[in-house]
Amino acid sequence: MEFQNLLFEVADRVVTITINRPSALNALNNDTLTDLNKALDEVAKNDGIKGVILTGTGKAFVAGADISQMASYTPEQCRAYMGYAQQTFNRIEAIEKPFLAAVNGYALGGGNEICMACDFRYASEKAIFGQPEVNLGIMPGFGGSQRLPRLVNPGLAREIIYSGRNVTAEEALRIGLVNRVCAPEALMDEARAIMKTIASKPAHSLRYAKTSINRGLDTDLYKAIQLELELVSLCFSSPDQKEGMKAFLEKRPANFAS
């Protein structure tokens, strides 16, 4: 596959997607979004890929939407480009495979928003998060005003969005925005290690668990528990459920097919 601003590398059934536009701190312009959509098409359709690590080249993860591209937009142009970006971020949640954001540096505006669309986040000690849109005369537009208050204390989300201030990796860990902070040189090893473990689990378990969590968070508790019942019951139609339980009873490691 050919990309302009992105690297796509598969190992141990996990793809590492690296946003690779360091001259603009990996800001998301149209070409980069097109690349990302192409990469997501492959992730969605390729059964050989069990999960994704999303990261960036250089000192940034993603420094947000491309300001030089959007500065002169009319509202109509803005709507078209930004709608495309929003759709792309929503796809990360909709694809039923786990995504880990390995945040190596600046994750600002759309950069923080794309990492919040991932299932979970690890950060380098050098990572800086934030929603600085108010400094540009706008507000978060890629889901940040919705995902941040769902991920961290809503009062804190308001403070971060209204002030446009930076959030260090240490604070991000404390407020639950990231799961782990790593030395910069250890970030990718740690990301690969957890994703290798995850990729060793049956595909249907990962698929239904992600769907159950994501759809469940959008509904009330008892409807969500009903959805969980349907999905866990479906697991019993899979050969990997038979193998997993047989292996346990025979006191041996499971040999999953998917």
Please confirm, yes or no, whether 113 is among the known catalytic residues: yes
Calculate ∠ Cα 129-135-140, nearest 5°.
60
Nearer to ligand DAK, 98 or 132 (CB): 132
Nearer to ligand DAK, 65 or 156 (CB): 65
DSSP assignment of the chain equals: ---SSEEEEEETTEEEEEE--GGGTT-B-HHHHHHHHHHHHHHHH-TT--EEEEEESTTEEE--B-HHHHTT--HHHHHHHHHHHHHHHHHHHHSSS-EEEEE-SEEETHHHHHHHHSSEEEEETT-EEE-GGGGGT----SSHHHHHHHHS-HHHHHHHHHH--EEEHHHHHHTTS-SEEE-GGGHHHHHHHHHHHHHTS-HHHHHHHHHHHHHHHTS-HHHHHHHHHHHHHHHTTSHHHHHHHHHHHTTS------
| Least separation in angstroms between CB 107 and ligand DAK | 10
Nearer to ligand DAK, 146 or 219 (CB): 146
| Least separation in angstroms between CB 109 and ligand DAK | 2
**Would you state the structure tokens that stand for residue 212, as one six-digit string?**
């159950």
Please confirm, yes or no, whether 250 is among the known catalytic residues: no
Nearer to ligand DAK, 146 or 197 (CB): 146
| Least separation in angstroms between CB 85 and ligand DAK | 6
**Which one of 113, 171, 190, 250 is the catalytic residue?**
113
| Least separation in angstroms between CB 4 and ligand DAK | 16
State the pairing for strand pair 166-168/128-130. antiparallel
| Least separation in angstroms between CB 155 and ligand DAK | 22
Query: Which residues contribute to the site for ligand DAK (CB under 6 A)?
Result: 24-25, 27, 63-68, 78, 82, 86, 106, 108-110, 132-133, 136, 138, 141-142
**Which one of 9, 76, 125, 133 is the catalytic residue?**
133
Q: Give catalytic residues, as residue numbers.
A: 113, 133
